Amino acid sequence: MPRRFAAADIGSNTVHLLVGEITNRGTIRRVVNVSEWLSLGEIVSKTGTIPSLDATKLFETLRRYKRIADDAGVERFYVFATEAMRVAENHDKLITEIRKEIGIKVDLITSSREAELSLLGIGLDTHVHDNTVLVEVGGGSAQVALCQGKNIVEQASLPIGTGRLIGEHGLRQPAPQDHLTALRSAVQPHWQQCAKPKQGGVIVASGGVARGIMRALHPDGERMIQFFELEYLMRSVAGLPIDEIVRRFRVKEKRAGSLLPGSVVFYEMLEHYQQKQFLVSEFGVREGAILEMTMAEVAK
DSSP 24-40: TTS-EEEEEEEEEE--H
Per residue in 170-184, pLDDT (tens digit) is 888 999 888 899 999
Per residue in 138-195, pLDDT (tens digit) is 999 999 999 988 899 999 999 999 999 999 998 889 998 888 999 999 999 999 989 8
- Can you give the pLDDT at residue 129? 82
- Can you give the pLDDT at residue 297? 57
- Can you give the pLDDT at residue 299? 45
Q: Are strands 28-37 and 76-81 parallel, antiparallel or unpaired?
A: unpaired
- Can you give the pLDDT at residue 25? 82
Give the residues of the chain that fall short of pLDDT 50.
298-300
126-280 placed in CATH 3.30.420.150: yes
Per-domain boundaries in the chain: 4-110, 126-280
CATH code for 4-110? 3.30.420.40
